[in-house]
Amino acid sequence: MLAMTIESREHVRRYFDEFGDAEWDRLTGDVRGRVSLEIHRRFLTRFVGPGDRVLEVGAGPGRFTIELAALGATVVVTDLSPVQLALNAEHLRGSASDAAVERREVLDICDTSRYADGEFDLVLAYGGPLSYTFEHAEEAMRGLLRITRSGGLVVGSVMSLLGAWRHFLPGVVKVAETIGEDANDRILRTGDLRHESGQGIDTHVCQMFRYRDLAALVRAADAEIVAASASNWASLGDLDALAVLEADPSRWARFLEHEVTACQEPGCLDGGTHILFAARHPHV
């Protein structure tokens, strides 16, 4: 099982190396992505303040490195992919945001042993890096909590099982025709996309979560979730309607307010493509 996990993480490293700068455009290339970016940004602003020292895990090309810098934080930027780290440096080079970066280094989220207990005010793990830890998810979560100061938070996201099923249903139907309904049933039961691997499908291998799975993971790491949100809700709907709203700044601002609020409703947490969370030890 360990070997499978290591192999899976190497697959992830290669995936993001090859994905390259497309990761920079992922949250701005279409209206749904732009809504997701705003939801992530607003969620983050609730927890980061001037002077905070932040470890950014899975930082990618720098979308949220820029946000952290704008909030007044100093950032240790990390990613499993050397290519993504290089793109992070390229996108921030010469900007005010780059001055907020202490250093950049390759990091596997499953091994944070190089950092001291309580070294950071906050750990940011957006982009779903915990979704690539599989059997080592609890170990990874404990590691992130260990290096966060007393009272500090781990803020992150995981891929949403039910939200992805809802949003990508046409693709799910086609995939099930290839891998078989039994394998599809296992994916929906476990969230583990490794059930697709080796069956002739080029898939993004990751672990998807229900909100209850995420809450159980955090509890197993002796912590609690203090805030959560879906990444999208109404914005996963009709693109033409979204385009009409986005074209009118006043209506768009109102829509975003409603969308951000809706995404935090308990009944909506499983409805987006990702689940955002903030967690800390409960005795704090």
The distance from CA 181 to its chain's CA centroid, rounded to whole angstroms, is 28
Q: Residue 134 in contact with residue 207, Cβ under 8 Å?
A: yes
Using 50, 70 and 90 to split pLDDT, how confident is the model at 5? low
Residue 213 reports pLDDT greater than 80 = yes
Distance, in Å, from the CA atom of 43 to the CA atom of 46, rounded to the nearest integer, reads: 6
Per-residue pLDDT reduced to its tens digit, 186-211: 999 999 988 766 555 556 789 999 99
Residue type, 37: L
Question: Mean pLDDT over residues 117-145, rounded?
Answer: 96
Residue 92 reports pLDDT greater than 80 = yes
Question: Mean pLDDT over residues 219-238, rounded?
Answer: 96
Question: Mean pLDDT over residues 71-75, rounded?
Answer: 98
Residue type, 23: E
Instruction: For strands 148-160 and 274-280, give the pairing.
Output: antiparallel
Distance, in Å, from the CA atom of 88 to the CA atom of 74, rounded to the nearest integer, reads: 15
Per-residue pLDDT reduced to its tens digit, 235-270: 999 999 999 999 999 999 999 999 999 999 999 999
Residue 52 reports pLDDT greater than 70 = yes
Task: Give, as one character, the DSSP assignment of residue 116.
Answer: P
Spatial CA neighbour of 26 closest among 73, 69, 58, 70: 58
Q: Across all residues in the chain, what is the average pLDDT?
A: 92
* Total-model pTM: 0.93
